[in-house]
Amino acid sequence: KSGIYVRGNWIYFASPNTDKTKSGEVNKKYLDFFRVSLDGKKTELLYTIANRSADFFVTDNSILVLDGGALKKIDLNK
């Protein structure tokens, strides 16, 4: 499922990518995964996928993303 997850000192979430296409339109294809420190001082873009409807779940060490039929693992220990 999608949502907002708190793990340790971080809040994890996904947000639609708002980069512009070559024609200047807002991109409607990509989904960005972020984390923000609980104190709000740090924001990090962790990963971008080409599927806005992907479900994800945050574990202690990774974000698991179901992207179509593929399971992707985003390592949070980088």
- Ordered DSSP codes for 28-46: -S-EEEEEEETTSS-EEEE
The per-residue pLDDT for 2 is 64
Residue with tokens 């409607």: 28
Report the predicted TM-score, pTM, of the whole model to 2 decimal places. Answer: 0.84
Sequence letter at residue 77: N
Number of residues in the chain:
78
The per-residue pLDDT for 54 is 86
Beta bridge partners of 12: 5, 35
- pLDDT, one tens digit for every residue, the chain (78 residues): 568 899 889 999 999 998 888 899 888 889 999 999 999 999 999 999 998 888 888 888 899 999 888 999 999 887
The per-residue pLDDT for 1 is 54
Domain count, the chain: 1
Domain of 61?
5-75
